[in-house]
Amino acid sequence: MFRGGVASVQTDVDSGSLKTNRVEDKNTTADVNNNTQPGLSFTYMLSDKFGVDLSYTVFFSEDFKGSAGNTCSDLELDSSLGLSGQLGFDDQLNEHWAVNAAVWYMDINTTAKFKDNAGNRYKQDAEPDPLVYMAGVSYKF
């Protein structure tokens, strides 16, 4: 079954260690200050609990965390198109009420642009690869 649509995803965004040019830097992470990221997602449900998504993500309010925040600024992450895996459930409690929850691992490959304290500009491949959590309650009229 396919499903898709435009979503504003409430997320717990923690990139973990950033990988730049395929090398992981354990001292540098990126933070998206606003926990609502707009995106477009098309999901193919392999079962009623597991799906594979094609997702387009738009970033805003990015900033460095960790030691890089002392020497770098003006972080900008390009929008990203990538695959993600979804694990979740929907439970119909009665005729009107239902609950659902899901977690996604998102494979995000983007370009990070930033500058250092001397004003030098940099452009590097980055892979934040966050886990995204969602829980919801629905009411059917």
H/E stretch holding 81? strand 80-92
What's the farthest any 2 CA atoms get from each other in the chain?
62
Cα separation, 13 vs 25, in Å, equals 18
Q: What does pTM read for this prediction?
A: 0.62
Residue 107 has pLDDT above 90, yes or no: no
How does pLDDT run across 18-44, given as a tens digit for each residue?
555 555 555 555 555 555 556 677 777
